[in-house]
Amino acid sequence: MRKQSFMVKQKRGKRRLHRGGAEARSVGRSDEGRGQACGKMSEVMVDLARPCLDRLGPNPPSAVVAMGYQLCGLIWNVTRLRSMEIREAEFARVLRDVVAKAPDGTERELQQFAVGVYHRALELYPDDSRHVVDVAIENRAAGRFQVTVVSLEGGA
């Protein structure tokens, strides 16, 4: 594993290869005592990012994929905020800050990616209270990426 922390790290089940070249693996205590209904957090991140990352083609640059998944984790945490007013204000701030740092010519695509992930997270996982602590991407051969997510159960 990448980092040692206070969390117990464990592999659950077999790793599966997902469409779009991302292999998902999730570690942390967030899955303990949970049913499989919510799925592993790494699978959730892959699912949220897939529509936009699939448009990058068969062998996307690993830096772009890593940035996409990191942004996906950040947006996921914003969507877990309970107050709609605070959530929308934080999402607007994230959009403003991230788009301002986008490489020239990619601002529109990055904004579309962020808005898509935001709406998919709220629509597909409205009751999932986990928070993303870290998202790591390991570049595999032929445009394949392993996504590892550290998450914690959120407050009630």
Note whether 17 and 144 are within 8 A (CB): yes
Is 11 a domain residue?
A: no
CA 88 – CA 86 distance, rounded (Å): 6
Per-residue pLDDT tens for 10-26?
334 433 333 344 555 54
Query: What's the token pair of residue 155?
Result: 């407050």
Does pLDDT of 38 surpass 60? Answer: yes
pTM over 0.85: no
**DSSP reduced 3-state for 39:** coil
Place of tokens 């942004």: 71
Per-residue pLDDT tens for 78-101?
999 999 999 999 999 999 998 888
Is 4 a domain residue?
A: no
Domain that holds residue 58: 22-27+38-152
CA 145 – CA 17 distance, rounded (Å): 9
Is 53 a domain residue?
A: yes
Place of tokens 């942390």: 28
Per-residue pLDDT tens for 40-61?
999 999 999 988 888 877 777 7
Q: Average pLDDT, whole number, for the chain?
A: 77
